[in-house]
Amino acid sequence: IVLTQSPGTLSLSPGEGATLSCRASQSVSSSYLAWYQQKPGQAPRLLIYAASSRATGIPDRFSGSGSGTDFTLTISRLDPEDFAVYFCQQYGSSPYTFGQGTKVEI
Amino acid sequence: EVQLVESGGGLVQPGRSLRLSCAASGFTFDDYVMHWVRQAPGKGLEWVSSINWISDTIVYADSVKGRFTISRDNAKNSLYLQMNSLRAEDTALYYCAKNLYGSGCFDYWGQGTLVTVSS
């Protein structure tokens, strides 16, 4: 399954909201879709799994939605620490695949 | 606290081999599926391989099938990746990742070990 993320780059200011899209080339079974955040020089961090469930310790300004082939990560109010690259990943079928990433920049 | 610490990376010539290790702590290692994920410099993430708790279910990405072998030693809380016939396109930061229970996504990651394949 090929995952296409858009936009490639999102230029926003702290306090604004962000909407990131992840579109799959075929339906992701059981909404097995995850979102990760990666900052420079760091490993990815799991934000959302099963399309809409927040991982442990993730602030509620992060939310996920969607099903089938269209998924969205929403950040309600950008905190300065939220500027990073975001990846989606499907784990409904092997091979597990990632999107190419969306960079959220100031 | 969950910790995953990779080691074994380095510079290697094309066609040669390398073995990566991942030392796990802070959780019951043999309860969890474990994964290797890689990231080429400046690029995105690529899942490489997964192994279940008793090593009877193992899967690989097509890009490494037949060349890489994943294994684990539950007594040592360790995960391994034997990489043979290395190619330039295998150059990447290799992450060890713990499976979120009951899913196929990755809730804890190591800091990675860099593999550079070059003559």
Distances (CA, A) of A16 to A73, A74, A81, B81, B105: 14, 11, 13, 43, 29
User: B33 at the A interface (CB within 8 A)?
Assistant: no
**Using CB atoms within 10 A of its CB, is residue A21 exposed (0-12), middle (13-18) or buried (19+)?**
middle
Distance (Å) from the C-alpha of residue A34 to the closest C-alpha of chain B? 7
pLDDT digits (tens, 9 = 90+) for B3-55: 999 999 999 999 999 999 999 999 999 999 999 999 999 999 999 999 999 99
Chain A contact for B45 (CB, 8 A cutoff): yes
Over its length of 106 residues, how does chain A's per-residue pLDDT go in tens digits? 999 999 999 999 999 999 999 999 999 988 899 999 999 999 999 999 999 999 999 999 999 999 999 999 999 999 999 999 999 999 999 899 999 999 999 8
Task: Identify all chain B residues contacting A5, using CB atoms and an 8 Å cutoff.
Answer: none
Inform me whether the C-beta atom of residue A62 falls under 8 Å from chain B C-beta atoms. no
Determine the pLDDT at residue A29. 85
